[in-house]
Chains A and B, each alone.
Chain A
Amino acid sequence: MNSILELRNVTMQFGGVVAVNDFSMHIEEGEIVALIGPNGAGKTTAFNCITGVYEPTNGEILYRGHTIAVSHPRGRMRRNYGGAHGDLYTSRRVISPSPDEITRLGIARTFQNIRLFKSMTVYDNVLTAMHLRARQNVFSAVFRISWKEERRMREETERLLKEQDLYQYRDEKATSLPYGKQRRLEIARALATEPELLLLDEPAAGMNPQETRELSAFIKEIKERYSLSVFMIEHHMDLVMDISDRIYVLDFGSPIAEGTPEEIQKNQRVIDAYLGVRDDV
């Protein structure tokens, strides 16, 4: 049985800065995995490598056992490469998918700073995300030959909005929703692309404890309902410890620990990374 997602030696270097170094991890079917680490540890960069926003400098990413991205340092980067295992993938042909190809595979994401379609209503935001899976072409869409498909998309959207408790806001502008609802809408929109793996970038950012508790139940619920695997970046430790099956910890771009919530809580390196180490010890 293959992991749903696997990263091997993923390294991302910007100029001289190694943002993520030799990060290997895997997510199994049906798991909720969290990625934690202090600010600037390279969590979002790792996310962006998976979602195709960045092409990793080195390393390989597999989805259900198939390579979806592989890269090795090239050009000027070959000399300046500061990460590990620089020669491991040199024989491989570079594959670097664009974000839409990744989404098509079944990996959907949300953003740290909410990125909804500003001019659209709540309803249209979700409906737009259905475009990816619609069985139609331009002609059938313009001449309304695929009106059945359009109707299916609309019904699906309504169902999704009802399930996410957003139906009463359907005709409001997306950006006029309260913050917590915007986050929820972003998740609903991601679900509309029919993902198998959902990547959440700080879903609880800016939420109060009450909302965070609701979110934790919500994530568990959608995971069951849509049979998802979830990979998330989060700073709220209550949330992380509550729902994650496993946790990876990054610090200064490098993985420093991996394990169940209990293991991570006891891990001395993690505690040091978060609290700092006294120099004089």
Chain B
Amino acid sequence: METFTQSRRTFLTTLAALLLDSWSLSRGFASVDHPADLSLQDQSKVIVVLCGGIRREDTFAKEGLANIPHLCTDLLPKSILYPFVHNAGVTSHFNTISSILTGTWQRLDDWGKTAPNTPTLFEYLRKERQWSEDRTWFISSNKALTNRIGASSVRDFGPGYGANVMFPKQLLIDAVVYAASKGKASRSADPYKMQPELAAMLEANNYEGLGWSVSGESSILNASARATVSQAIQDLLHANAPITGDEFTFLVGTEVMRRFAPSLLVLTFSDMEVAHFGSYSMHLAGIRTVDRLVYELWNQVEANPAYKGKTTLFVLPEFGRDLDGSVTNGFFNHREDCDSTRLTWMICTGEGVKPGDLSERVVQSIDICPTILHLFGLDPAQVAGKALSEMQV
């Protein structure tokens, strides 16, 4: 018999698969399960994992190693560690992630109202390499982002060359809140009574309203997927155990890998951002979840023929968090102009990496974009960051 945790994981995996079914049907995508392009299986892959605001002292420091057992024991021996990665930009989520993706410090509206003003990795690669739409994906847990993260406002690039952007956690949140907020169900002792509200929501909305941020004329869930998703969410509602948004994001991400084998996949995790609410114990739990998920992600890479032996994985926090005793209330926030907030780390594993290597020079988080472009054989001059010389093609 499955344990509850296994059962929950199985369920979430199923839900992730269903979401991808709906997605690919609506977009007319072929997947590598039924591949339109077998050559995808043989090409270089890059996966970038961005994991919110995490202080060095809670991770790669003596007192923090207990929070990252998989990173420091299982992955580090296979990786190059950059212990000093500097974020010189605006230490908000939208600006930092935009900066990493564009290789240029972005200074945009923090709420994602405007797109990056220089091209993203996705656009360079899709335009220069003439990649199809399904080869670049951005999948995120972060509520602070919008779909403008996937493409710049630059005229010759833009959404036509952008990534597929998905916010799976938002789907669940919106669905649950909607179901719970429809009066008669909200205070009911019987959670099954939520079912009609949830069904009505799925009938009434296309999945723009459910947290899918990609626009498209055919973005309406088909009836079968709608019913299944509805049932799946109901089942999830009745599960009496915490479920993290990052776990769901991870499962959607690995499902995308299995189906589409994208060449570039960016995942962002955000469970640790509960720090904004002041729970240090839950913040550390979020770090430990990311540690586990990154390790599982690498295991998936090793187990997937489309990825094994041809993938480079980048893992880094977006920034740190503020110092204890700061006017910005310490670990709650990431606004201070200090090393605790600006200086973080990165580990890179897989192809192009010398295992067990260490580069102690200070690198910039905007260096990641040109490094990835370099791995794919591009060298755009207009990117401000510099490719990391330790990473070989």
A and B: bona fide binding partners: no
Q: Which residues of A does B touch, CB under 8 Å?
A: none
Q: Which residues of B does A touch, CB under 8 Å?
A: none
